[in-house]
Structure 1
């Protein structure tokens, strides 16, 4: 028997499947995951892909020749956005539903440096409108050192963008699964490690 769960990909003792709640969303997510994130014990993109039936998790760095992604981008009557802050990005809160077209949002899953490299490589994304989240949001990724207080994990970014575009829907189970994953990892740390290394 494999040491890893075939569904969530995490070690069986750290399996998150019991905390996953199936959620409906009008907005579809495409998560482009950098290969270095695929097997991280504390990676969060899998929470999104397991919870949301109309999400897709694609792994790679350079997607220029990626058949599935480029086929999705070529579909008619679909409005694509990239969640990537820039000087011309729109606030996610300003993109109100319903919109006549189906909505898809592309998330880049990786460290800021790796996400920037993915953005540079995948020039087919550059003609798509970009979205940003409010700058005052604070992440709760307690077991990773973040470059700043408002650095969000991928699941947090997905939660906020979906909640802002569909305020009538409750996406809080995404954060509940995230918190359960973090709590388990903290419980596995030797006494005092979390307090010394992660609490300010």
Structure 2
């Protein structure tokens, strides 16, 4: 019999994170496109990010038929948060700038690339990246490359840059508690042996 879970954060009821999830306003609209393989992931940071931002939306799938409509929002400039040679480092908005519709693929690097491949409209968007970032707080997973972040960390870092001096640290509170809970569940010895190298 499955354990009862919170319908909002989808965590087991006794580990519900809703009290820690903020309701943050942002000029930037965030559209998270989540690969279906991430939905049942224990951490599912994309869901936490979407819940914590009033101006965010989470869509799950591989092919997004309505993507042209989602991107055609006259009050925003659509761009894809995805590193690469053709990406431009984000910088703070000037007062007259039209805010971004920041499209964020959620999945492993391989799955994120697949989303771009399956959705040519997505692949055609101008790309932006974070530049220099603090090391990931996701201590349970070895980053595949320098500067790799979880989805919620990448979104918070992007918003910190775009909307400075406003900060989005509160978005990471449930993520930090989730990480600490996972470490506690596995035991400190197992964590040190498998993750502290």
Same fold (TM over 0.5): yes
Which sits farther off after the overlay, 155-164 or 173-182? 173-182
Q: Distance in 1 between matches of 2:124 and 2:98?
A: 17
Partner secondary structure for residue 30 of structure 2:
strand
Q: Which runs of 5+ in 1 are unaligned?
A: none
TM-score, structure 2 normalization: 0.92
- Partner SS for 1:30: strand
From 102, 108, 124, the counterpart of 2:121: 124
The two structures, once aligned, show a CA RMSD in angstroms of 1.8
User: CA separation in 2, counterparts of 1:55 and 1:129?
Assistant: 19
Offset from partner CA, 1:37-69 (integer Å, 9 cap, x none) = 111111211121111011000001122x1x2x3
Segments ≥4 residues shifted beyond 6 Å: none
1:72 is the counterpart of 2:70: yes
2:52 paired with 1:51: yes
Q: Which residue of 1 aligns with 2:145?
A: 148
State the number of aligned residues: 196
Aligned to 2:187: 190
Match of residue 29 from structure 1: 30
| TM-score normalised per structure 1 | 0.90
Gaps of 5+ in 2: none
SS of 1:188 mapped into structure 2: helix
Deviations 1:128-182 (A, max 9, x none): 2110111454212111232134210000000110000011212111122211111
CA distance in 2, matches of 1:186, 1:20: 20
